[in-house]
Amino acid sequence: MLKMKYRLLPVIIGLATLSSCKKEFLELNPPTSLTPSQALGSEGDLQVALRGVYSGLRNVDYYGRTFPILGDILSDNTYQSSQNTNRYTLFNNYSFNVTDGNVAGLWNAAYTVILRANNIINSELTASPGVNQYKGEAYALRALAYFDLVRYFARPYNDNPSALGVPIVTTYNPDLKPARNTVQEVYNQIKSDLTQAYSLMTQFTNSSQFSKYAARALEAKVLLTMGDYANAKTAALDVINNGGFSVVPAASYVSYWTNPAIETSKGETLLEVSSDAVNNLAFDALGYLYSQGGNYGDLLVSEELYALMETGDVRRNLYPTGNRPAGVPAIFVEKYPSIVGDRDDTKVLRMSEVYLIAAEASYRTGSEPDALMYLNYIRTRRNATPSTATGAALLDDIIEERRIELAFEGDRYHDLQRLMLPVSRSANYPSSARTIEYSNFRRVLPIPQGEIDANPNIRTQQNPGY
Amino acid sequence: MRKFLTLLLGVLLFSVQVLAQTRTITGKVTDANGVPISGASVQVKGTNVGTVTQEDGTFSLSVAPTARTLTISAVGQTAREVNIGTQTNFTVTLQAGGQQNLQEVVVVGYGTQKRADLTGAVATVKAADIENKPFTSVDKALQGQVAGLQSVAASGQPGSTQAILIRGVSSITASNAPLWVIDGIPINTGDASRLSTTSNLLSTLNPNDIESISVLKDAASQSIYGSRAANGVIVVTTKRGRAGKTRFRFDTEVGKSDIAYRNERYRPLNADEYFTITREGLVNLGLSAAQQNTTLTGLGLGNGVDFNWLDATTRRAGQQQYNLSAEGGNERTTFYISGGYFEQEGTTINSKLRRTSGNFRINHKVSERVNFGMNMNGGFVNQRAPLAGGAFGNPVLSSYFTLPSRNPYNADGSYNLNATSLGGLHNTIALSELDKRYLREFSLRGNIFVEIGILQGLNFRSSFSGDFNNLEEDQYNNPFHGDGQASNGRAFAYYTRYMNKVWTNTLRYNRALNQSGDFNLNAQIGYEAQKSSGYFSSLQSQGFPPTFRLTYPSAGATPITANATISDYSFVSQFASANFNYQNRFVVSGSFRRDGSSRFGGNNRYGNFWSVGASWNIDREGFMQGLDLFSQLKLRTSYGVNGNAGIGNYDWLPLYGYGANYNGQPGSIPTNVGDSSLTWELNKPFNVGIDFGILRNRINVTADFYTRKSEDLLLDVPLSRTTGFSTATRNIGAMKNTGFEFAINAIPVQNRNFNWIVDLNFATNKNEILSLPEGNDIIQGSFILREGESINSFYLRDYAGVDPANGDPLWYLTDDKSTTTNNYSSAARVIAGTSLPKYFGSFTNTFNYKGISLEAQLYYNYGNYVQDPWGGYYVGAGFGATYNKVARVLERWQKPGDVTDIPKYIANGNKSFQSGSTFYLAKGDFIRLRNIQLGYNLPKDFISKISLTNAFIYVRGTNLATWATDENLPWDPEQGTASQSNLNVFIPKTVTIGLNVGF
């Protein structure tokens, strides 16, 4: 006979089972994430989300590495050593195609920044100085991302404003399949965002975040790129006269580049993308491709660029000479030497460039004395002989000064684009890729295959030639 | 559910009346050696009145006065029939044998069934087929054992994951891995490591501790596991003790392994060959003679070094295992205890696995109606796996990429740690010693249960199980050279823990429904709750002192990572199943399960899954009694619905994640699109099968046809990147798998001294995508998802060979192959075959002559393609000029008129030839000598003199030969189910010798 205690056991277990069958057993929340409404619920949350936008700039295919490198390797400043790790080879050779990983990475990273910025801009929190500042920075960040996209994936504004630009997305909707907007529409969006940014921002946090005058400097660059020289000059002078930033002098020029820390008070840097000892790209960082201190060091200074710098020019100190591979003379880039510990930040906007914008805008608007003044303001602070040129030669000097001052910061290619000039490269480059006419289809990047595959509305809008 | 309970109660009352007129018989069942057999089925012939034997082999059964014959059957034994007469106590001895015998008892979901009662497709694997094999986990040993179960390796790393597909791929985004149930516990499986290149939780389970494996392939057998059954269920039962004299068993095997497959056209070039072709590449690039010389000198021309990196990073590897077990007990208490040690080296330097394992089980019978028991199975694995894929620290990569002119050693014999003199690559020979990558994996699977017979035929069982996995991973990269150089040395310590708890309660009812025993019911209801808790902590520090001796994160100056988090999931389920049998001629079955899971949103948290099945044992029909041809003949069919919940734990939630920090301050970013109505992916399998035995079971055949449709696929739908996301998981799309499976077991020759047994299995599977969001193609890397096509279809630009005039690579411009282009970007992509085989299976011959046995198993696979994603670097026409190349580039175009498929060699590449195309795709057809074993059973009269009960010695070869049909297949044909090679540790072939003794 079955003992009573054993008969009772199933009953006890049954009761225990029923009582354990609570609803909470199936309600498990993620430990390190929040829903969007929880994550963007207060002013403090908005500030945290804003840092997330900046961290998106550090992506390896954006300001982390690819964006600044393409600007110099697609032009005539840097070339790939024959001893290399196969990074950016196809850009050195002008043979990249629609499946290129760096191109897709750049597209994705910029739009990721745009999404993150959109969520802050579209926050419905009550306005306050803090909320305004964060929204202002988000507007400026969105403008920057669109400016970068439209310059790489479309022909320049002054070629044809009604040509295809890039899709404008200003609200979050995961099912959106946007077609490309025109270049004009993209620039309108950029300008409107920068106007908002300028009016909303009141604080300077440090050089790694947008401030009112950093947004104004970006506007000056945007206007210069569009060929709106009068307004470009106004914007640049607003920064020079009212911004409180200053150009780094010759004496501290080299230390300016060797110090990886951000600037906590206003100095040369209007905006840079921060990499520190913890949050960095390790051996995927920008410096790793230029510095000879690590395993890579693939990219070298073109002889032609080096020759433009006078012997006494303080900038020459950043470009030591040596051999790579053994027996082959080479010039190295030491602008990003901090490849361990706190890493180099990527400069986005500097006061020196604002002066050069003022110089070019002055020249274009018929004020050669102003142009010369702003140009030589920089040259004298680099221990370079002041220019005395006039007319077209003065413009050449200004463009050349941009090339020297902003070398390895990703700027040169965009100058050649807006000026619609051929890329003329020295014998450092492969013979098949020494002259790249403005009309060459690879002068704009392909819309990435992944976007074409996922977005039917952009499928017929690939850049010609790809 | 309530209705079902009422029915059950009614049945109970009814059956109590029946009881009165029966009498009780008892007995004991043993095998040929006199060892009691537990779990054997004892049944009154022609009825479903029956029981199973206890741990000590005894049984007790109430039978009707009309009962004439008992049928006794057990796993792996030939069934016997015994006359009842007036006898009340029986001793029955069963003989081994009887593949797929219909009287065999088969482990199924939540219990056992006689094969005759099955309505579903269930394949079984015996212990003998998986014991003592040179494989690190049981999933690897399953290759070729079961028709329709595809088991594919991707790496030869000991302890690596193994992909298992049962009846094809049913999900695009969610998991396609089967559910593993070990001793009733739905366990966590797969690769749980976070630093190691590959690992496998099953590698902590010693295959020698396994008694039987059942593979549940259709709705009738699977659906009782509800939402996790869609990819098939593998039910593993570990060994249990049998009563009697304490018996010991010792098994050992030692051997050596080498690379299983090599293609001479993919050997790395030596220094002369490399410099010859590179000079040609530089000439073709347009460099002057002086420029050529400086470049080549930079690459090491004339430095007198010609080092073979492949030979130096691979090796003949060792292999050994030792297993000892003891079992015994008495009629009330039985035990089984075992311990094992296993060690295997990979064919790549410093790739290794060691396992120490143990298994313990005790069962105790309190009374005729109450018994309880527990079992515990644990294993500790210590694994070292090199980097894989494109990592510079990967020894396999370096053996193909590093130039033969680069010397790993300095003149004084010390390691060369100068990156520049290694061409920017890593000295993997040095790093394999100076750096470390360790995984220590510990698993414990335990179960404690009590079973109570409430009434005759009504049993209650409650079982509590736990599955605990603990992974400790250590990595150190030295500050001088390699991955640690950039950070002045770095070290990681990761801790991962999974605690999975399951509580299962079942009420089982097994009775004849009328006096004659014509109608029998076997039913159960159950409740199960499961929670798996994951806990993860990660830390990393950088900035190490300049020594190789300090390798733990404590020695680093800068803390970089300091993370800890959790990830949990839970399931609550109610289930029921019933099996209704009429005269053993007709069987109908049904199952139902309702699952709730934390993985889905409040709207769709619960799902209902069910199955129906039927079988007809035609050989039991009167009209068959005169026919001697068929010893067995059975038809069966089933249909049902089950589910797949194999997605991330929180995928349904729209999320902002943290950790996107900036300037040392916290940052948050959107991380998941989410979908609050996300729910189960459905799988609807239909199966029809036949089992028959002819010529007194000399030939046994099982054949199945199936079609299974998956709906509401959990699919990562690609988004426009302009939204800031690349994919979102949605329930959308449908897919179908259709296939045919065939297994034959035949004994062409059988006499007193010699027999010859043939086993053949064959399976086809055809996958078809039925619907996708808005009918649009989805392109995922090298693959396309397109309606009407198979999943895992390669979608690549179609390589058209080399232009004989100028050596340019050509691709077809359109998919009709009418015109070619040398512009890669403008070439059309085409579907170029799939990564999944059209058919696969195995063919085994076993010969026994007196004590000598010879067994040979061939595994075959046909109809898939294998991609070599890294080929552009070592075959590309000059791309990656500073890396070494393989012999195939020597076939390059050299002068107008040359006909070849390798373009003109130009340093840095010739027109995107290196980019993905059908050139880098090879046919994956192969036949492999999976197992060949020659053994000798030492004569009984000899071994009894040394107090042994049995002794068997053997020599075995594993993967000894591989025949591939495509001469351009670069690497081993087994490259996972995606068939994409990734410069992994080479899959080994192994020769071992072994000894099994019992005493």
Tens digit of each residue's pLDDT (9 = 90 or more) over B897-907: 999 999 999 99
CA torsion angle for B240, B241, B243, B249 (degrees, to 10)? 140
Query: What does the block give as tokens for B217?
Result: 């392939």
- Give the residue on B whose Cα is nearest the Cα of A466: B825
pLDDT at position B111, please?
A: 87
Residue B6's pLDDT band (boundaries 50, 70, 90)?
very low
Chain A residues in contact with B227 by the CB 8 A cut-off are none
Query: What does the block give as tokens for B376?
Result: 């515990």
Cβ contact B170:B768 at 8 Å = no
Query: What does the block give as tokens for A214?
Result: 């950093």
Q: Do A56 and B660 touch (CB under 8 A)?
A: yes
Instruction: Choose, out of B490, B717, B825, the residue to mutate when testing the contact with A (most A CBs < 10 Å).
Output: B825
Chain B residues in contact with A49 by the CB 8 A cut-off are 656, 667-669
Cβ contact A133:A200 at 8 Å = yes
- Which tens digits make up the pLDDT trace of B834-869? 999 999 999 999 999 988 999 999 999 999 999 999
Residue B16's pLDDT band (boundaries 50, 70, 90)?
very low
Instruction: Choose, out of A8, A11, A19, A32, the residue to mutate when testing the contact with B (most B CBs < 10 Å).
Output: A32
Quote the mean pLDDT of chain A. Answer: 93
Map residue B817 onto helix, strand or coil.
coil
List the Cα angle B336/B342/B347 in 5-degree steps. Answer: 155
Instruction: Choose, out of A12, A86, A284, A442, the residue to mutate when testing the contact with B (most B CBs < 10 Å).
Output: A86
Nearest-angstrom CA–CA distance, A431 and B284: 11
Cβ neighbors of B2 (< 8 A, separation 6 or more) are: none
For residue B21, CA distances in Å to A425, B43, B817 come to 105, 18, 82
Point out the residue among A84, A90, A167 whose CB comes nearest to the CB of B722: A167
Average pLDDT of the segment spanning B175-189: 92
Radius of gyration of chain B (CA): 31
Map residue B880 onto helix, strand or coil.
coil
pLDDT at position A18, please?
A: 57
Cβ neighbors of B547 (< 8 A, separation 6 or more) are: none
Q: Do B662 and A279 touch (CB under 8 A)?
A: yes
Nearest to B716, CA basis, from B767, B677, B675: B675
Per-residue pLDDT for B199 more than 90?
yes
Map residue A304 onto helix, strand or coil.
helix
List the Cα angle B923/B927/B932 in 5-degree steps. Answer: 155
A 10 A CB-CB count for B205 gives 28
Q: Do A450 and B779 touch (CB under 8 A)?
A: yes
% of chain B at pLDDT higher than 70 = 96
Average pLDDT of the segment spanning B870-892: 93
pLDDT at position B319, please?
A: 94
What is the distance in angstroms between the Cα of A218 and the nearest Cα belonging to chain B?
A: 21
Among residues 555-584 of chain B, which lie with CB inside 8 Å of chain A?
A: 558-560, 565-570, 572
- Which tens digits make up the pLDDT trace of B788-839? 999 999 999 999 999 999 999 999 999 889 999 999 988 999 999 999 999 9
The per-residue DSSP string of A106-134 comes to HHHHHHHHHHHHHHHHT--PPP-HHHHHH
- Which tens digits make up the pLDDT trace of B896-934? 999 999 999 999 889 889 999 999 999 999 999 999 999
Interface A–B counts its CB contacts (< 8 A) at 300
- Give the residue on A whose Cα is nearest the Cα of B486: A340
- Any CB–CB contact under 8 A between A432 and chain B? yes
Per-residue pLDDT for B5 more than 80?
no
Nearest-angstrom CA–CA distance, B431 and B439: 17
A 10 A CB-CB count for B811 gives 28
Per-residue pLDDT for A23 more than 80?
no
Q: Going along B330-366, which residue ranges are E strands?
A: 333-345, 352-365
What is the distance in angstroms between the Cα of B437 and the nearest Cα belonging to chain A?
A: 19
Tokens 């501790």 sit at which residue? B209
Cβ contact B597:B227 at 8 Å = yes
- Which tens digits make up the pLDDT trace of A355-371? 999 999 999 999 999 99
Nearest to B387, CA basis, from B453, B339, B353, B436: B436
**Which amino acid does the sequence have at A32?**
T
| Long-range own/partner contacts, residues A99-102 (CB < 8 A, 24 or more apart) | A99/A448, A99/A449, A99/B915, A99/B916, A100/A445, A100/A446, A100/A448, A101/A61, A102/A61, A102/A66, A102/A70
CA torsion angle for B935, B936, B937, B940 (degrees, to 10)? -170
pLDDT at position B112, please?
A: 87
pLDDT at position A8, please?
A: 66
Per-residue pLDDT for A10 more than 80?
no
Query: What does the block give as tokens for B659?
Result: 């950790």
Query: What does the block give as tokens for B146?
Result: 């079961």
ipTM of the complex, rounded to two decimals: 0.92
Q: What are the φ and ψ backbone dihedral angles of B769, each rounded to 5 degrees?
A: -80, 125
Per-residue pLDDT for B267 more than 70?
yes
Instruction: Choose, out of B483, B603, B723, the residue to mutate when testing the contact with A (most A CBs < 10 Å).
Output: B723
Per-residue pLDDT for B18 more than 60?
no
Residue count of chain A: 466
- Which tens digits make up the pLDDT trace of A235-270? 999 999 999 999 999 999 999 999 999 999 999 999
Per-residue pLDDT for B7 more than 60?
no
Residue B82's pLDDT band (boundaries 50, 70, 90)?
confident
Nearest-angstrom CA–CA distance, B391 and A442: 30
pLDDT at position B645, please?
A: 87
**Which amino acid does the sequence have at B925?**
D
- Which tens digits make up the pLDDT trace of B244-253? 889 999 999 9
Per-residue pLDDT for B2 more than 50?
no
Nearest-angstrom CA–CA distance, B890 and B678: 54
- Which tens digits make up the pLDDT trace of B492-533? 999 999 999 999 999 999 888 887 778 889 899 999 999 999
- Which tens digits make up the pLDDT trace of B86-109? 788 888 887 665 444 556 788 998
Q: Are strands B317-329 and B179-182 parallel, antiparallel or unpaired?
A: unpaired
Tokens 């290196």 sit at which residue? B914
Q: What are the φ and ψ backbone dihedral angles of B33, each rounded to 5 degrees?
A: -90, 5
A 10 A CB-CB count for B135 gives 21
Residue A325: asked if its preceding bond is cis (omega within 30°), the reply is yes
What is the distance in angstroms between the Cα of B51 and the nearest Cα belonging to chain A?
A: 19
Per-residue pLDDT for B128 more than 80?
yes
Chain A residues in contact with B450 by the CB 8 A cut-off are 9
Q: What are the φ and ψ backbone dihedral angles of A454, each rounded to 5 degrees?
A: -90, -15
Q: What are the φ and ψ backbone dihedral angles of B580, each rounded to 5 degrees?
A: -115, 125
Q: What are the φ and ψ backbone dihedral angles of B572, each rounded to 5 degrees?
A: -130, 130
Chain A residues in contact with B570 by the CB 8 A cut-off are 25-26, 28
- Which tens digits make up the pLDDT trace of B253-266? 999 999 999 999 99
Tokens 């059957």 sit at which residue? B73
Query: What does the block give as tokens for A383?
Result: 């221990």
Q: What are the φ and ψ backbone dihedral angles of A365, each rounded to 5 degrees?
A: -95, 15
Cβ neighbors of B872 (< 8 A, separation 6 or more) are: B879, B880, B913, B914, B915, B916, B920
Residue B17's pLDDT band (boundaries 50, 70, 90)?
very low
Residue count of chain B: 999
Q: Do A30 and B728 touch (CB under 8 A)?
A: no
% of chain A at pLDDT higher than 70 = 95
Most confident of A318-327, B65-74, B405-414: B405-414
**Which amino acid does the sequence have at B561?**
T
pLDDT at position B895, please?
A: 95
Residue A1's pLDDT band (boundaries 50, 70, 90)?
very low
Query: What does the block give as tokens for B247?
Result: 């018996």
List the Cα angle A143/A144/A148 in 5-degree steps. Answer: 115
Element (H, E) at A253: helix A253-258
Nearest to A332, CA basis, from A304, A371, A300: A300
Beta strands across the sheet bearing B122-126:
B122-126, B210-216, B233-238, B179-182, B185-186
pLDDT at position B1, please?
A: 41
Per-residue pLDDT for B47 more than 70?
no
pLDDT at position A443, please?
A: 97
**Which amino acid does the sequence have at B750?**
Q
Nearest-angstrom CA–CA distance, B951 and B935: 10
Q: What are the φ and ψ backbone dihedral angles of B812, each rounded to 5 degrees?
A: -70, 135
Nearest-angstrom CA–CA distance, B818 and B890: 29
Residue B10's pLDDT band (boundaries 50, 70, 90)?
very low
Residue B323 pairs with which residues in a beta bridge? B251, B340
- Any CB–CB contact under 8 A between B669 and chain A? yes
Largest CA distance in chain A: 116
**Which amino acid does the sequence have at B101?**
N
Nearest-angstrom CA–CA distance, A10 and A394: 96
Per-residue pLDDT for B667 more than 80?
yes
Point out the residue among B669, B825, B882 whose CB comes nearest to the CB of A466: B825
